[in-house]
Amino acid sequence: MKTNIDFYGKRFIFFGISLAMILVVIVASMPFVLGVPLDIQFKGGSIVKYYHDEPIDLEQAASVAAASIGANVSALDIADAASGKKVLTLNVAGDQALTVEQQSKLAADLVAAFPDQNLTVSETNVVAPFLGREYLMRGLWAILIASVLIILYVGIRFKAIGGLSAGVFGVVALIHDCIFVFGLFVVLRIPVNDNLIAVILTILGYSINDTIVIYDRYRENYRLTGGRMPLPQLMNLSINQTLSRTINTSLTVFTSIAVVYIFATIYNISSIRDFALPMMAGLLSGTYSTVFIAGTSWVMWKTRKGDHTAPLLAPSAEPVAPKPAAQAAANGKSKR
């Protein structure tokens, strides 16, 4: 598929779309609008487990529990390895542990909602708030370290074309994707937990791979043209040449994750569903930022002083062979 789209010329349109999206996420995340729905891993709270007999509707169980105690609740259904019994696990996010009265009311409401399940309390645990904050900080450190390593890798690999700045703007595009995925958690009221960290780290690796493909084609085209093509035009050429590959790869991965999401929805596996849906959104955002944000913003930085044909090759690069006419003129001068 051959295209000739002026990505660089339309860059401010795409920048505006991204800034508008970021603004929506910031506003939605404010406590007086929607707020950030932190799960127990990041906020602390209580974990209550119940033995039961038959498969249980997890969404209904979480809804009943949330109405009973007035807090965000997520539900999981697992099997006890020792006894083989089914265990309904309720994660209640909050700064305070459930009181005895709340636990009694919760148990009574669940028994009333599921009278045939023979629900009995298995155990109750408390997750201290400071443990949640520590877990959150470790997740943020993992994202930060991954971003720094990406910048260093791109900087080394594309040193001949100013790779360090290329790595920085590649990470800028990744931050764009992270904000988009985070916004999806906020808008859809998906509890922010370790799924968010897993999705972001996955998107970091996937999205930067597509960006590296464009950088690699840019470097090759620069060498082929000997630096004579204006840098914005060179970036447009490189993005257009890799566009079909980027779209096909993204569609393939998106389809695979979509199948996982469908099966998780059918079998009501909330933990996988809450990973697959943001992952699909992150794939779309990663494709968008790779094509419209990373390369164009980098070239905009490289040409910020107005020189659109600034030499980018390192001094050690092989010089471009002179044109025949220029060579003949040079030979004529040497004979005189």
DSSP code for 320: P
Outline where 1-46 has alpha helix (H). Answer: 11-29, 40-43
Q: Do residues 203 and 289 touch, judged by C-beta distance below 8 A?
A: no
Confidence label for 318 from pLDDT (cuts 50, 70 and 90):
very low
Mean pLDDT across 187-194? 84
Question: For strand 120-127 and strand 73-79, is the pairing parallel, antiparallel, or unpaired?
Answer: unpaired
- What's the confidence (pLDDT) of residue 130? 65
**So what's the architecture of 132-302 in CATH?**
Up-down Bundle (1.20)
The H-or-E segment that residue 157 falls in is helix 129-157
Q: Do residues 196 and 185 touch, judged by C-beta distance below 8 A?
A: yes
CB under 8 Å to 214, separation ≥6 — which residues?
238, 239, 242, 246, 290, 294, 295
| CATH number of the structural domain 45-127 | 3.30.70.3220
- What's the confidence (pLDDT) of residue 320? 43
Nearest 5°: the CA angle 61, 64, 65 is: 85
Which part of the chain is CATH 3.30.70.3220?
Answer: 45-127
pLDDT in tens, 140-180: 888 899 889 988 988 888 887 777 888 899 899 999 999 99
Which part of the chain is CATH 1.20.1640.10?
Answer: 132-302
Q: Is the per-residue pLDDT at 319 higher than 70?
A: no
- What's the confidence (pLDDT) of residue 322? 44
Nearest 5°: the CA angle 35, 41, 44 is: 80
Mean pLDDT across 307-311? 51
pTM of the model: 0.74
Confidence label for 117 from pLDDT (cuts 50, 70 and 90):
confident
